[in-house]
Structure 1
Amino acid sequence: MPIYAYDKGGKEHYYYAFEVKDQNGKRKTIKKRGFKGKTECKKAEAEARVSWEKGSYIDPSKMTFEEYITNWLDNKQDISRETRETNRGHLKNHIVPVIGSVPLQKVNVMHIEKLTKSMKDKKLADGTIKKVFNLVNTAFRSAEKRELISKNPFNLLDKGSKPRDSKAKIDYWTLEEVRKFFSVLEHRQKILFVLAIHTGMRRGEMLGLRWKDINFENRQIRISQSLKPRQGLTEGVKTDAGYRSITISPFVISELKKHRNMIVQEKLAHDEYDDHDLVICQENGKPVSLGNFTKFWNRMIEKTEMRYIRFHDLRHTCASLLLSAGTHPKIVQELLGHSSIKITLDRYSHMMPNLQENAAMTLEKMLK
């Protein structure tokens, strides 16, 4: 068995090496290092032999960056389906057109800087640039770990060449603006906006909400399904913390019951109602079109003559109203489905200006 051990950093690693003949009868050695376990190395060696016999083996020295990162992403196991699709979009739109044709082992600092500059020239959001940058960096770390490259070019970057960290802009309506919005709002999907502002649910969570997920007696909503671009209705939510139950007010219950009565009437009026048990849907029962959602929201802003904010900012509006009323950040975290309270505090700390004053006054009362 062509599996060999070698020492790296005081620890035993493995590599495989076996000889083959090319189409001209010339002998060559196929070799790959960087395996921590013997079993892992044996499996990779067997796969390399099969690839060679099928004619699909790619010599690491001749592998392009596109070939490497595409294969790396296809075989990555620790990401969700949604993240994988997003990353494939980044490959197609931003990464491959700029450095995809460069041989993996020849990608250098200048190529990485060129990639970053190309995204800035497209005026992509800082957050998107950082995500693409991190994706490529992770791919190179994996290549370095498996000794497909001698050095990770990201380790040689100047600090100024790395994308800056910037907090996403958060906008929200004030209490007065929310009251104005509901005073002029007349729409079949009013319940969508009631849920957005009263519960802080994500758009996909609201559009995937089913009647069976609502307990009217206990006034609770269970989040377990989402409507996603390209994937449609999907069991599951963005993070593990996204699986949650939300307690809702009697007002929201009342609005849900009104909306349910309307849905019942629409079912009776349509001979071919496509029933998905959705709370928010088209008049024929089908899921709402995400492709037209931004236009829909812009029309609502124009019709109600409200100050423009993104639809997602209704979620921030919910958080702002709760925190300004003195709700504990931990409760807000659980309501919004953040994976940790750190996210909540980092994102909304500027909305809690009275916390230190309240803390000081509380201590004074305790110590008097």
Structure 2
Amino acid sequence: MPIYEYVKSGKTHYYYAFEVKEKNGKRKTLKKRGFKTKKEARSAEAERRVEWESGMSIDPSKMTFGQYITDWLANKNDITPETRYTNEGHLRNHIIPELGNIKLQSLDVGHIESFISTLKKKEIAQSTIRKIFNLMQTCLKSAHRKQIISKNPTDLMDRGSKPKVNKPNIDYWTKEEVKTFFSKLKHRQKLLFVLAIYCGMRRGEILGLRWRDIDLENRRIHVRNSLRPQQGLTNNVKTASGYRSITFSEFVKSEIIRHKEMVEEEKKMKDDYRDQDLVICQRNGDHISVGNFTRMWKYVINNTEMRYIRFHDLRHTCASLLLSAGVHPKVVQELLGHSSIKVTMDKYSHLMPNMQAEAADTMENLLN
């Protein structure tokens, strides 16, 4: 677009002017005067165009990082409600208080490294610090791509100064502990724990499981739904690979039948039963909330006097028992719904210490 000149007090000055279309269809002209050179006017015009196209109504040079990242997250449409809820918490509790008032175009490596050090002093989990950093990094990458900032400061950081996540320690019960747990377990929702340990299902997948997704005749569970903390019951699961079919054993089949009979009896006893076709539910048919679930798990642990592990670790227990028994990792991957066998191997390779020894013995037997 051309830059225009005008004369004021005997001196030549420049201005930019260009037309834009608002959301309501009306057109208006964005214009600014007072530039001493064409280059200054052209640079300012470019920034103003980026500002307009980004939906910003504030001068980029005056915009704070807090303003930008808040608007950026609000307009981000490729995340789940759970992720949005978590990210908004990171903004509210950490990013805005520490970095919110810094001008976006002034934010530098020193600010970010100091911020990370502050988070560490607060003894925030390393995995959480990494998620906060990733959120900022993605936001700044977007600002750089839109030419709102000339450089992304996170790209200038030394590799060693970026927060890392150590490989988490995976806890699980041994075969003997699982047997002890079920021998002591006296609970209405026994099937919930059976599905976690025998089938490796996630908490949300179990709480969102419906009777129509269970094929008793062929002993298969079709994982199609999930219960999410923010979304409630949904017709989707955590990842694309989470959609899967799980073949279950005769023991699991007997537990499903027993549980179904119990639910049918409860339906007869309540006139206000809210039938949502849920397998795991409250006595009135409603789904179990995540908050109540956490309390229930602690109650079960105390009543059975078991060594504490997270409920999610029952899924790890399933994987560890299968892998230690020699089940192929590909089968375990498909059972758990991992996106690739690499995920399974990275998580559970330490449970397969004999694989190299077996490979060495196999080679010797083949050649000798």
- TM tier, smaller: 0.7 to 0.9
Match of 2:100 in 1: 100
Contact 2:51 2:148 in 1 (8 A): no
Residue pair 1:330, 1:341 contacting (<8 A) in 2 also: yes
Match of 1:79 in 2: 79
Matches within 5 A, 1:186-205: 186-205=186-205
Distance 1:278 1:61 in 2: 54
Root-mean-square deviation over aligned CA pairs: 2.5
| Correspondence for 1:31 among 30, 35, 45 | 45
Structure 1: how far apart are the matches of 2:248 and 2:256? Answer: 11
- The worse-fitting range, judged by mean Cα deviation, of 70-79 and 130-139 is 70-79
Say whether the 8 Å CA contact 1:222–1:244 is kept in structure 2. Answer: yes
Whole-Å separation in 2 of the counterparts to 1:302 and 1:85: 31
Aligned ranges 1:208-287 → 2 under 5 Å = 208-287=208-287
Indicate conservation of the 8 Å contact 2:209/2:225, yes or no: yes
Aligned AA (1:82): E
Moved more, 78-87 or 344-353: 78-87
Distance in 2, Cα, partners of 1:65 & 1:234: 34
Match of 2:147, SS?
Answer: coil
Q: Whole-Å Cα distance in 1 between the matches of residues 165 and 194 of structure 2? A: 33
**1:39-70 Cα shifts (integer Å, max 9, x gaps):** xx8xx78757xx6xxxx711111111122112
Matches within 5 A, 1:294-309: 294-309=294-309
Q: Deviation per CA, 1:3-38, whole angstroms, max 9, x where unpaired?
A: 9xxxxxxxxxxxx9736468xx9999863469xxxx
User: What is residue 7 of structure 1 aligned with on the other side?
Assistant: none
Counterpart for residue 139 of structure 1 = 139
TM-score by length of 2: 0.86
SS at 1:271 equivalent: coil
Which amino acid is the alignment partner of residue 31 of structure 1?
A: E
Alpha-carbon distance in 2 for matches of 1:319, 1:142: 39
Aligned to 1:329: 329
Q: Which string of whole-angstrom CA distances, capped at 9 and with x for unpartnered residues, describes residues 184-235 of structure 1?
A: 1000010011001001111001000000110101111011111111211011
Q: Give me the whole-angstrom Cα distance separating, in 2, the residues matched to 1:214 and 1:348.
A: 29
| Matched residue, 1:342 | 342
**Greater CA deviation, 294-303 or 110-119?**
110-119
Map of 2:355 onto structure 1: 355
- The answer to whether the Cα contact below 8 Å between 1:213 and 1:222 also exists between their aligned partners in 2 is yes
Counterparts of 1:69 and 1:225, CA distance in 2? 32
- Unaligned stretches of 5+ residues in structure 2: 4-15, 19-28, 36-40
Is the contact made by 2:51 and 2:57 (CA closer than 8 Å) also made in structure 1?
Answer: no
Work out the CA distance in 1 between the residues paired with 2:217 and 2:235.
24
Question: Which residue is 2:58 aligned to?
Answer: 58
Cα 1:17/1:271, change in 2 over 3 Å: farther
Residue in structure 2 matched with residue 158 of structure 1 by the alignment: 158
User: Residues 361 and 17 of structure 1: is their aligned pair in 2 closer, same or farther, counting only changes over 3 Å?
Assistant: farther
Determine the structure 1 residue equivalent to 2:127: 127
Is the deviation greater in 117-126 or in 305-314? 117-126
Larger Rg: 1 or 2?
A: 2
Q: 1:46 to 1:171 in 2, by over 3 A?
A: closer
Once residues 367 and 198 of structure 1 are traced to their aligned partners in structure 2, the CA distance between those partners, rounded to angstroms, is: 39
How many Å separate the matches in 1 of 2:315 and 2:175?
14
- Structure 2: distance between partners of 1:337 and 1:17: 56
Given that residues 127 and 168 in structure 1 are in contact (C-alpha distance below 8 angstroms), is that contact kept between their aligned partners in structure 2? no
Residue identity matched to 2:72:
W
Q: Pick closer, same or farther for the CA change 1:121–1:294 going to 2, 3 Å.
A: farther
For 1:78 and 1:363, locate their aligned partners in 2 and report how far apart those are by CA, in whole Å: 49
Once the two structures are TM-superposed, the CA of residue 145 in structure 1 deviates from its matched residue by: 1.7
Alpha-carbon contact 1:17-1:32 (below 8 Å) kept: no
Alignment match, 1:169:
169
Change (3 A) 1:17 1:146: farther
How far residue 153 of structure 1 moved from its aligned partner, in angstroms, is: 1.4
In 1, Cα distance between the equivalents of 2:349 and 2:175? 18
SS in 1 for 2:285: coil
- CA drift of 1:263 comes to 0.5
Which residue pairs with 2:12 in the alignment? none
SS in 2 for 1:245: strand
SS of aligned partner of 2:291: coil
Change (3 A) 1:178 1:251: same
Corresponding pairs, count = 340
1:224 to 1:31, Cα distance in 2 relative to 1, 3 A? farther
Q: Are the aligned partners of 1:213 and 1:221 in contact in 2 as well (CA < 8 Å)?
A: yes
The separation in 1 between residues aligned to 2:2 and 2:222, in whole angstroms, is 55
1:82 CA displacement: 3.2
- Write out per-residue CA displacement over residues 101-155 of structure 1, whole angstroms, 9 at most, x where no aligned residue: 2111111122212321232233222111111111111111121122111222112
Q: Deviations over 1:147-174 (max 9, x none)?
A: 1112221123233321123011210000
Deviation at 1:283, TM superposition (A): 0.7
Deviations 1:69-112 (Å, cap 9, x if unpaired)?
12222333443343333322222222222112211111112221
Equivalent residue letter for 2:293: F
CA contact (8 A) 1:223 1:244 kept: yes
CA distance in 2, matches of 1:123, 1:160: 19
Deviation of the 1:366 alpha carbon: 1.9
> What is the distance in 1 between the residues matched to 2:273 and 2:339?
37
